[in-house]
Chains A and B, each alone.
Chain A
Amino acid sequence: MEHRKYNRKAYHAADPADVAVSQAIFNDMWELFVQIGKFWGKTEVVEDLRTDLLVFMNNRIAMDPSYLYDYKNASEVIKELIYEMGEEKGYESLFTDKSILDDPPTTLKARARQKVSNEFIVLYLSLGGFKDYGAENSLGYIGGANIKGKTPYRTIDK
């Protein structure tokens, strides 16, 4: 009976094949991720992180299929903001507008901020974005093992 579909490991009832993110939406989300780095970082986001972002998005969708719609919504919100304000100001508005932090979010822009942009911030920092702010390790960053002489965080002796 192990082969039966109903025995598959599942977080929800949706068929994984029906909830895959499209290339177009992923490209928009990658651009959002890059813009997070530009707005807050000193160093540029490297292409290598594309895979990390895709894995992250697919994991979020696998946990909750509504993320598929949140990513689609974020893509549309960003397009509108850019159309209205230009690229730099559009992203700045999404990142800094303090009127869209109500919990739960009540507008599509607020939802794009809280369910997508703010989650990408956590991912961005956990993939090394924190290093622009002085630390060697951070919460969520896979810093490495405790090896003498190569301690993966700032110590007194360094």
Chain B
Amino acid sequence: MKKQVDILIIGSGAAAASLSQRLLEKDPNRSILVLEAGIKVPMKDYKLYQDYLVTGTYPYQFCEDLNYPSIFGNGENVPVGGNQLQLSGGRAMMFGGSTAHWGGWSFRLKPEDFQLYTNTQIEGTIDWPISYDDLEPYYGQAEDYIGVSGDSTDQVPPRTTKYPFCEFPYTLEDQGTIEAFEKLGLDYAHMPIARHGISDTDSPHAPCKTTGTCKYCPFGARYFAGNFLDEMLKYGSFPNFEILQGAIVDRITMSSRSKATGAVYHDKFTTDSHTVEAETVIVAAGSIEAAKLMQRSVTPEWPEGVGNQKNNNLVGKNLVSHPFVYWEATLPENPQRLQPEMDFPTFISRHFDSKEQQPFGKFLTVRLNSFSDQFNMTTNNQVSTLTKAMQTGLNREEIDAVTTGPLNVQLITQVEVFTKTSNYVSNTAPNVINHLGMQETNVHYVPDSGFENRLDQIQTLLNPVFNEMGATNFRKASDSIRADHAACVTRMSDTPETGVVDKDLKVFDTDNLYVLSNGSFSSLGAINPTITLTALSLRLGDHLNSK
């Protein structure tokens, strides 16, 4: 049986949730269908919370990609030709999307990010077809919608509105880093973080209670799109708003080159195929799945997949994500018994996320939790030094020695990398299905040959910070490129010669097909993309509402 709706949204993450909200605010009776390939995992469940607390395993972990196949066991997806991008751990394919596991770091792009090519002349890069000023009002609205706690006096980048909630003060752990940055004349700031605060509104969202288990918040205080969608369904009085789970979209349907008519999907449990007809189609899946869906949507007018122009086939190309680089050094002692008291950082620096650094790959710097030198602790691990010490059987005196002894301090940098058409994602053969029932991914990402040099430069820039802190044995602890911030594979441009969608996120040469994902970023900058994506969603909502 065919369904007919005004608007079909594919995917149920931050983009889908914020866009639906904006559209239904204007017209609560609008018929909107959201198709989500994944399923709903219970949230705000105390049993699951305690299980996460004890085991460190979050209950939606099964919604992430498996590792690539290897001699150690079965895996999924295909790393092609020296690929260095990890899909595993980078995205969550479920109701609510990757906001299930995101950290909530809520940075705006800077004005210069919108003019990457103009500022750098780097081959393969482009400018955004919109400016920071175009997006600035929507950034403020996105921060309100998501619920960001931040420092409203921070004008880097410039802002015309206040954050809805005040910033989290610097922790005692931040002190040494702050002193070092001040001595060196480097800028720093409070982390803008997606944690709800105390509000005098009738918001259904609980404030953060600093529980320190953010990847599974027992209160729902960190923005998770699934919670917001649930609340819209429960309390929104939107009679024609529907979300289907386990609905894997096989292809977008088109009646001509310009007119999208809907989509064909199958129920992953019954395998039954269904057709949806829609006046407007929004692809709001994550970057990688959005590009793959468009590649699969082959029609006579789009023989290489919808959005792929004859001369360039850009859908799926220009893949970028952020290299996460962990820098570490050791303080000789820890007389204040510094230890993580939160699960999110409070100190950040955008000093090197600057126009001056832009040609080389600008980078964000964030102070992460410190940990005892005695235990080989990893970042984002909810097990504290104290837990580890007690569980391994140290007695009180031994633990006192550990908690006051040498301390490893850490900074993480996220580095901007530049688009190249040679980096891409694509579909595997149709019968190669991952553990969630979705077609697997071919992925090829190889950094520029100069990337290792850039890491050396960053190490040189950060070395004085650790020196000022009195830390020794400064080293690069690890670096990895994960798909968390995968972007630009359906990028926005002035022209179909260099991009897939226009400044309104509409696929070139179509009238009613939009791509709302990080894939539509023209460039990624050095920051986490979610607030920018949400701002684009709200902007698209206004665009559609004005029609």
- Chain A contact residues, CB within 8 Å of chain B: 11, 36, 39-40, 55-56, 59-60, 62-63, 95-98, 101, 118-119, 121-123, 125-126, 130, 133-148, 151-158
Contacts and interface: CB of A to CB of B under 8 A. Distances in A.
A158 B195 CA distance: 22
Given A133-B399, A156-B170, 7 more contacts: A95-B390, A96-B395, A138-B339, A143-B211, A146-B149, A153-B171, A157-B169
A136 B403 CA distance: 15
A126 B387 CA distance: 10
Given A59-B50, A134-B337, A138-B212, A153 B391 contact: no
A40 B339 contact: no
B54 A122 contact: yes
A127 B339 CA distance: 17
A41 to B, nearest CB: 9
17 contacts: A11-B47, A40-B396, A59-B50, A63-B51, A98-B392, A125-B384, A139-B383, A140-B213, A142-B211, A143-B210, A144-B209, A145-B197, A145-B208, A146-B207, A146-B210, A153-B171, A154-B341
B166 interface: yes
A56 B207 CA distance: 24
A136 B339 CA distance: 10
A154 B337 CA distance: 11
Interface string B404-418: 000000000000000
B386 A130 contact: yes
B44 to A, nearest CB: 14
Contacts of B390: 36, 40, 95, 121, 125
B336 interface: yes
Contact of A137 (B53, B207, B212, B393): B212
B517 interface: no
Interface of B: 46-48, 50-51, 53-54, 149, 165-166, 168-172, 174-175, 178, 195, 197-198, 207-213, 336-337, 339-343, 382-384, 386-387, 390-396, 399, 403
Nearest to A96: B393
B530 to A, nearest CB: 20
A156 B174 CA distance: 8
Contacts of B171: 153-156
A1 to B, nearest CB: 18
A105 to B, nearest CB: 13
A135 B341 contact: yes
B384 A144 contact: no
A139 B197 contact: no
Which 5 interchain pairs have the tightest Cβ spacing? A134-B337, A139-B212, A96-B393, A153-B341, A137-B341
Contact of A145 (B207, B337, B393, B396): B207
B404 to A, nearest CB: 9
Nearest to A148: B166
Contacts of A63: 47-48, 51
A129 B153 CA distance: 37
A43 B341 CA distance: 20
Given A122-B53, A134-B336, A138-B386, A156 B169 contact: yes
| Highest count of chain A CB atoms <10 Å: which of B50, B171, B403 | B50
B149 A155 contact: no
A97 B393 CA distance: 7
A145 B341 contact: no
B210 A153 contact: yes
Contacts of A55: 46
A111 to B, nearest CB: 14
Contacts of B340: 138-139
Contact of B403 (A59, A133, A139): A133
Contacts of A156: 169-172, 174-175, 178
B212 A135 contact: no
B367 to A, nearest CB: 13
A98 B393 contact: yes
A43 B392 CA distance: 21
Given A125-B384, A148-B166, A133 B210 contact: no
Nearest to A62: B47
Given A139-B212, A143-B210, A119 B54 contact: yes
A39 B397 CA distance: 11
A125 B383 CA distance: 11
Nearest to A122: B54
